[in-house]
Amino acid sequence: MSQNNSSPAPNMDLTTGTLYTYTLILTLIQQIYGTIGFIFDASIVYVTKKLFRSLHKSYGYLLGICSFFNTLMDSVYFLPTFLVLTKKQISMKTCFWLQAYGSILDFNADFCLLFISLDRLLSIVKPTLGVISQNVVWTEDSGYDYRTE
């Protein structure tokens, strides 16, 4: 019994047949979502940068940075579509770096959302703490007391 490991597995032609059709359909659906996300995220970056001066605050900048990272992340969807349509195959090393690129950008976008939520939380808590601290006074007999004026 000799085994020939130089030939590919039987019936594994990835450029024709049902598997290729399903891969093409899924890739095109992913491409549609990626294009929509790319357009909307790019428009948020443009609006934040150019149009609305009211967005030139910390949350506006954070929103623009988050959308920028999402735009770059959505650009990862374009290469698989190109590879499926042209029936090209890439090496595992290239595939790894393309996946790492998308994962790092996704990680950055998630942290931007975290910073936006912290900024919004601070914008709510800071005025509340300021109002509380203005109404608290020290009295000799009872310690801290609230003003009722």
Full residue range of the structural domain in which residue 49 is found:
17-146
- 3-class secondary structure, 139: strand
Q: Residue 5: inside a domain, yes or no?
A: no
Q: Residue 4: inside a domain, yes or no?
A: no
Q: Residue 36: inside a domain, yes or no?
A: yes
Helix intervals (H) in 1-149: 17-46, 58-74, 78-86, 92-135
pLDDT tens per residue, the chain (149 residues)?
455 555 454 555 556 677 778 877 887 887 888 788 888 888 888 887 777 666 667 777 888 888 888 888 888 777 777 777 777 777 888 888 888 888 888 888 888 888 888 888 887 777 676 666 666 665 655 555 555 55
> Look-up: residue for tokens 């939380």?
121
Is-contact 119 59, C-beta < 8 A?
A: yes
- Give the span between the Cα atoms of 63 and 46, in whole angstroms: 11
Is-contact 81 28, C-beta < 8 A?
A: yes
Q: Residue 75: inside a domain, yes or no?
A: yes
Report pTM. Answer: 0.58
If one counts the domains in the chain, the total is 1
Q: Residue 10: inside a domain, yes or no?
A: no
Which helix (H) or strand (E) segment is 143 a member of? strand 143-146
Residue partners of 20: CB distance under 8 A and separation at least 6? 14, 84
Q: Residue 8: inside a domain, yes or no?
A: no
Q: Residue 6: inside a domain, yes or no?
A: no
Q: Residue 84: inside a domain, yes or no?
A: yes
- Give the span between the Cα atoms of 85 and 63, in whole angstroms: 34
Dihedrals phi, psi of 136, to nearest 5 degrees: -100, 130
